């Protein structure tokens, strides 16, 4: 089964998204912040990561930067709250698969995730 890692500081979001993708036969891991995500990524190799930009201790961008520095090229879809051009340009240079903006159209999220996981809806 394809593996998805969801990183978001809101537990509502993690649980809802986990439920959603599990129903679609995806194996889901969750992390409540950048630090937890990094420690999970030391052991696991998810096929795709949904990474929230705005998080407490270690922001989404910092997490991304750290991963790329470590040489981890895991596919990442950034989840942003506001369209922030600065964030976008920085993130582009670090290499992301795509972005979605909250509030998001769930069917669009589903489409992009399933596509990256090589799955048909």
Partner 1 sequence: MLTKLNYKKELENASRGMILIHDPNLLIKLIIRLIVRKVHAKHAGVLLYQPEKDCYVLTISGGKEGMKIPPGFAKFKKDNPLVKLFTEKQYREQFAKKGYLVVSDLNKLIWQESVLASEKEKKEFLNSVIRQMGMFNVLTCVPSYFHNNLLALLLLGEKSTNEGYDQEELDFLSALASNVAMALQNSQLIDDLRKEVERNRILFINTTLSLASTIEAKDKYTRGHTERVTKYSMAVAEELSKSGKVDLPKKFLENLYIAGLLHDIGKIAVPEQILCKTDKLTDEEYDQIKEHPARGAEILKTLPEFEEPLKGVKHHHERYDGKGYPAGLKGEEIPLMAAVIAVADTFDAMTTDRPYRKALSHDEAREEISKNSGIQFNPFVAEAFAKLLKKGEI
Q: In terms of Cα–Cα distance, which of 66, 65, 57 is closest to 31?
A: 57
Minimum CB separation of residue 72 from partner 1 in Å reads: 27
Which residues, 72 to 91, sit near partner 1 by CB under 8 A?
Answer: 81
Rounded to 5°, angle at Cα 30 from 25 and 31: 165
Q: Among 35, 54, 68, 102, which residue interacts with partner 1 (rule: CB under 8 A)? A: 102
56: contact with partner 1 by CB under 8 A: no
What is the three-class DSSP state of 102? coil
Q: In terms of Cα–Cα distance, which of 40, 33, 36, 42 is closest to 13?
A: 33
Q: Among 58, 88, 94, 104, which residue interacts with partner 1 (rule: CB under 8 A)? A: 104
Distance CA 37, CA 9 (A): 11
Distance CA 44, CA 115 (A): 21
Q: Which C-beta is closer to partner 1: that of 81 or that of 98?
A: 81
Minimum CB separation of residue 11 from partner 1 in Å reads: 6
Q: Among 11, 39, 70, 111, which residue interacts with partner 1 (rule: CB under 8 A)? A: 11
Task: Catalog residues that contact partner 1 under the rule CB under 8 A.
Answer: 10-13, 15-16, 18-20, 81, 102-107, 110
């Amino acid at each position: 089964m394809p593996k998805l890692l969801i990183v978001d500081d809101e537990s509502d979001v993690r649980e809802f998204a986990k439920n959603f993708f599990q129903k679609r036969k995806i194996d889901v891991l969750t992390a409540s912040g950048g630090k937890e995500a990094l420690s999970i990524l030391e052991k696991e190799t998810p096929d795709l990561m949904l990474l929230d930009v705005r998080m407490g201790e270690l922001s989404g961008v910092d997490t991304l930067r750290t991963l790329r520095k470590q040489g981890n090229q895991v596919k990442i879809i950034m989840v942003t709250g506001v369209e922030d051009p600065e964030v976008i340009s920085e993130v582009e240079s670090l290499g992301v698969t795509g972005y979605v903006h909250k509030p998001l159209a769930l069917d669009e999220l589903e489409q992009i995730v399933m596509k990256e996981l090589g799955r048909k809806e």
